Amino acid sequence: MKPLPILFSLVVSSLLAQAQQWVTYNPPADKANGKSIVLLSGDEEYRSEESLPQMGKLLSQRHGFKCTVLFSQDADGSINPNNQTNIPGMHLLGSADLVVNQFRFRELPDADMKHFVDYMDSGKPMMVLRTATHSFNYERNKQSPYAKYSWTTKGGGFGGMTVGESWTYHHGNHGGEATRGIIDGKNQKNPMLNGVHDVFGPTDVYGVNPDFPADATVLLYGQVLKGMKPDDGPTLTKATMPLVWLRDVKTPSGKTGRYFCSTIGAATDLQSEDLRRLFVNACYDLTGQKVPAKADVTPVGEFKPQMFGFNKFTKGVKVASHELK
């Protein structure tokens, strides 16, 4: 008979081994479109651990995509946005048709980061949401071959290489001035804007660098509002800034990857019906499908996201809790 401490250790090890590490939402058979999306949650502030599971459910159940959500987490399967180094399932990017990236300052082990870089090099599309302009921050392993993707490197690392922007500054007063999305009239017929008219979010407008890429196609500009309510008027002393844009980028292998960037995209922002519609439209377009005239973006189940902020995530939530009931 094994001593109790050893038996207890074996039980704990077994439970940890069985902890669910990611969640997959399979579409109903009659709606499946054959496309697979991997959504990367990993930011400390904007509650992507709440918004991306909802987007995965919405995209799968209403639009036929197979969606897998990866989370920053601890070894026992508890979601922890402050854990910057452990995001199981990165190998799943190899079979994805689209990646939705909402990282912030992650530093993945080289073996995991390789899957991300291989995806980039494949020329497949990526959606870069809010803090994902500054996805990586190499502070632990500065000798890593992937340290060049750190936002602190010259040129802005991953964000600079792809969407043309890394972390810049809060143009709107953070937590005090919300954002109104204004459609760029030159591009109003872009199918990603089908059915999109009223975009509002409580997050503030990010500033952009003076050398914002000339080859970017801006879909929405961000207007700074005087307060945090949708009917607050604009702060006219602050210029509009690019808020949502597209950019085509050559990969080292010579392929061209399309990037969709949105600096609005906190969980609370996704209470905006038309912002959800814009994101759904982008998933259709980026995977080569016809965009609906007005996509159904009714949330699947309850969606009451928490306000953004550091260390405000719900502690103790397991990955498995996001399974579609």
pLDDT tens profile 77-99: 999 999 999 999 999 999 999 99
Q: What is the mean pLDDT of residues 122-128?
A: 98
**Residue 103 pLDDT greater than 50, yes or no:** yes
Q: Give the model's pLDDT for residue 3.
A: 56
Amino acid, single-letter form, for residue 265: G
Q: List the structure tokens of 236.
A: 């006219």
Distance CA 121, CA 40 (A): 18
- How many other C-beta atoms are found inside a 10 Å radius of the C-beta of residue 82? 12
Q: Which residue has the higher pLDDT, 280 or 9?
A: 280
Query: How does residue 134 score in pLDDT terms, banded at 50, 70 and 90?
Result: very high
| Mean pLDDT (whole number) for 255-265 | 97
Cα–Cα nearest to 27, from 79, 2, 62, 77: 62
Instruction: Give the position of tokens 């919405």.
Output: 58
How far from the centroid of its chain's Cα atoms is residue 223's Cα? Answer: 21
pLDDT of residue 281 exceeding 50, the answer is: yes
Span 40-71, pLDDT tens digits: 999 999 999 999 999 999 999 999 999 999 99
* Cβ–Cβ under 8 Å, residues 35 and 98: yes
DSSP 204-242: PPBP--TT--TT-EEEEEEEEBSSSSTTPPB-TTS--EE
pLDDT of residue 197: 97
Separation CA 89–CA 36 (nearest Å): 14
Give the global pTM.
Answer: 0.93
Looking at the chain, the whole-number percentage of residues with pLDDT higher than 90 is 93
Q: Which phi and psi (to 5°) does residue 23 adopt?
A: -125, 135
Q: For residue range 162-195, list pLDDT tens digits in order.
A: 999 999 999 999 999 999 999 999 999 999 999 9
Contact (CB, 8 A) for 80 and 73: yes
Determine the pLDDT at residue 325: 82
Helix or strand (DSSP H, E) at 118: helix 110-122
